[in-house]
Amino acid sequence: MPADVILDPPVSAWTTGSDLAAVLADPAEDRVLVVPLSAGATAEEAAALTAAGLDPADVLDTHEPERTAGAVTRVSLRPGAHPARRLLLVGVGDGTLDAWRSAGAEVGRATRGLAAAVHALGSPAADVLAAWVEGCVLGGWTSPRWTKDGPVAGVDPVGSAVVVADTDEADDLVRRAVVVSRAQLVARGLAVTPANIKNPAWMAAQARTLADRHGLDVTVWDEKALASEGFGGLLAVGAGSASPPRLVRVDHTPPSAVPTTPRVVLVGKGITFDTGGLQIKPSDGMLAMKTDMSGSAIVLAVVAACAELDVPVRVTALLALAENAVDGASYRPGDVVTQYGGTTVEIGNTDAEGRIVMADALAYADEQLDPDVLLDIATLTGAARIALARVMAPLFATDDALADALVRAGESSGETVWRMPLADAYRRALDSDVADLTHIADGVGGGAVTAALFLREFVGQRRWAHLDIAGTGRSDVDAGVNAKGGTGFGTRLLLRWLEETR
């Protein structure tokens, strides 16, 4: 079943233990013992090696393992003589959260396809333990493949993983880290799904399936409903496609909710393929555009995970789904489009379609959902990638406390965001001679900033934040926690932030 490969990505069976010798005494075939190595030798690593029936000094002298973050040294052990088949020594370098997360990712990669792993972690801090497990889950992932036998999962991650750690509530920490990183895998799976499969209706169907599994409420607007309620932006962008647009709303309501429980609305850009429209992209620029729906995949995966994590606030995800295609019915440069709520927009470039679909969803959220915080995430501008490249995402916000909270969540989740200005000096460039607004600020530069200024016109007086993941949303390489393709960047950050929002 296609849905299951994507919405149910394979993840190891994770458990915890507190006594390494006891865990290793349990017989298991083809087991690998994983021992992290800090910058300098520690008593914990010596204890782990001893428990595996090895002499620490001898192992270190013989193999001279590297201790930089993510460096992996493999040691085969003699069958019968040791409680594990092999030993994986993994550097965690300076021991920062990022170092532990990327070391975990290398363990995830190195243990793919194996039966069992035991992680001898000593007594890590809670956030270190979580970062390690997240890294393992993310690094263990490979893209599904669409084969002659249908869609199949990629290489499986290690079958079972036991975390041996002397840390309070290790069980709960591991469980949460798996939920968070698994949500990111769901976002990735959706992002790498080919665009001939994932049109807007398909995305809506995935949202229904996932929401049903978690007991969340779903509403889907088809093209008729969009027209009768005035979603002119989604309809304009989707007009050139054989696959009509959709708006999807998924609601997480905590069981403890009372009328005063805050509501966060998350809006995701869901362009299932971005040809650029009539102002068509050059072929190089178009190649990656099946991932232009990453924002919508992330907000969907996040709202589903909120249910599993018992996030105590109301969370509503809005997926603004359309395909930006070339056709006689496509919207044109110079058109005037009426967005949800009535604001008219002069189309400056059909390739700036993201802000048009986002404007409808943001205006709907502001007018109908009374959010305490409105946040959107979008692969919005090539300019974001030019400004901050591939590991940091521009953040824009109308509220300092909100911006600070997101920056902090970015630091602890390893998904770094950098606040950029909603510079009023450039706002005039969005004035139009023929409509309420023009949608690109031609000749001004600062494309990520002016796109954010455009979105701000649709959020009313809300506390609002915008993440532009055009640079971070895709990776060209298998490296760190990322695999080639969609990264799901923002999933961990949003969940960290939501878990802390009260």
Rounded Cα distance between 296 and 323, Å, is 13
Binding segment (CB under 5 A) for Zn ion, from list 111-119, 124-132, 156-164, 347-355: 347-355
| CB-count exposure of residue 400 (10 Å: 0-12, 13-18, 19+) | exposed
Which position among 292, 366, 415, 499 is part of the footprint of ligand BES (CB under 6 A)? 292
Q: Give the residue from 145, 151, 72, 67 showing the smallest Cα distance to 108.
A: 72
Rounded Cα distance between 270 and 318, Å, is 10
Q: Is 457 in the site for ligand BES (CB under 6 A)?
A: no
Token readout for 35 is: 């021992």
For the bound state, the minimum distance from the C-beta of residue 104 to Mn ion, rounded and expressed in Å, comes to 35
Residues 6+ apart with CB under 8 A from 106: 70, 71, 72, 90, 135, 139
Nearer to Mn ion, 83 or 276 (CB): 276
Please count the CA atoms within 13 angstroms of the CA of 115 that sit on its side-chain side: 8
* Interface with Mn ion (CB under 5 A): 274, 351
DSSP 129-181: HHHHHHHHHHHT----EEETTEEE--SPPPSEEEEEE--TTHHHHHHHHHHHH
Cα angle 192, 480, 28 (rounded to 5 degrees) comes to 95
Rounded Cα distance between 374 and 360, Å, is 13
List, in sequence order, every residue forming a beta bridge with 336; answer none if it has no partner: 346
Which position among 15, 50, 349, 412 is part of the footprint of ligand BES (CB under 6 A)? 349
User: How would you classify the pairing of strands 217-221 and 246-252?
Assistant: antiparallel
Among residues 175, 208, 281, 390, the one annotated as catalytic is 281
Cβ atoms of 210 and 298 within 8 Å: the answer is: no
For the bound state, the minimum distance from the C-beta of residue 291 to ligand BES, rounded and expressed in Å, comes to 7
| Residue number closest to Zn ion, CB atom | 274
Which position among 44, 45, 292, 366 is part of the footprint of Zn ion (CB under 5 A)? 292
Residues 6+ apart with CB under 8 A from 219: 248, 249
Rounded Cα distance between 154 and 270, Å, is 24
Rounded Cα distance between 174 and 137, Å, is 11
| Residue number closest to ligand BES, CB atom | 382
Nearer to Mn ion, 70 or 394 (CB): 394
Q: Is 240 in the site for ligand BES (CB under 6 A)?
A: no
Nearer to ligand BES, 382 or 460 (CB): 382
For the bound state, the minimum distance from the C-beta of residue 365 to Zn ion, rounded and expressed in Å, comes to 20
Which position among 134, 353, 366, 376 is part of the footprint of ligand BES (CB under 6 A)? 353
Nearer to Zn ion, 157 or 276 (CB): 276
Q: Is 354 in the site for ligand BES (CB under 6 A)?
A: yes
Residue 317 binding: pick among Mn ion, Zn ion, ligand BES, none (C-beta 5-8 Å cut-off by kind): none
Please indicate whether residue 281 is annotated as part of the active site.
yes
Binders of ligand BES in range 178-207 (CB under 6 A): none
Which position among 45, 274, 323, 346 is part of the footprint of Zn ion (CB under 5 A)? 274
Q: Which residue has the tokens 């521009």?
A: 394
For the bound state, the minimum distance from the C-beta of residue 289 to ligand BES, rounded and expressed in Å, comes to 6
Q: Is 416 in the site for ligand BES (CB under 6 A)?
A: no
Residue 440 binding: pick among Zn ion, Mn ion, ligand BES, none (C-beta 5-8 Å cut-off by kind): ligand BES
CA 51 to chain centre: 38
Please count the CA atoms within 13 angstroms of the CA of 116 that sit on its side-chain side: 14
Q: Is 440 in the site for ligand BES (CB under 6 A)?
A: yes
Nearer to ligand BES, 184 or 381 (CB): 381
Which position among 470, 493, 495, 498 is part of the footprint of ligand BES (CB under 6 A)? 470
Among residues 85, 355, 463, 474, the one annotated as catalytic is 355
Rounded Cα distance between 37 and 42, Å, is 8
For the bound state, the minimum distance from the C-beta of residue 223 to ligand BES, rounded and expressed in Å, comes to 21
For the bound state, the minimum distance from the C-beta of residue 236 to Mn ion, rounded and expressed in Å, comes to 13
Size of the site for ligand BES (CB under 6 A): 15
For the bound state, the minimum distance from the C-beta of residue 272 to ligand BES, rounded and expressed in Å, comes to 11
For the bound state, the minimum distance from the C-beta of residue 10 to Zn ion, rounded and expressed in Å, comes to 30
Which position among 37, 131, 239, 271 is part of the footprint of Zn ion (CB under 5 A)? 271
E-assigned strand segments in 441-490:
464-468, 474-475, 485-486
Nearer to Mn ion, 271 or 315 (CB): 271
What residue ranges bind Zn ion (CB under 5 A)? 271, 274, 292, 354
What residue ranges bind ligand BES (CB under 6 A)? 274, 292, 349, 351-354, 379, 381-383, 385, 440, 447, 470
Q: Would you please indicate which residues are annotated as catalytic (active-site) residues? A: 281, 355
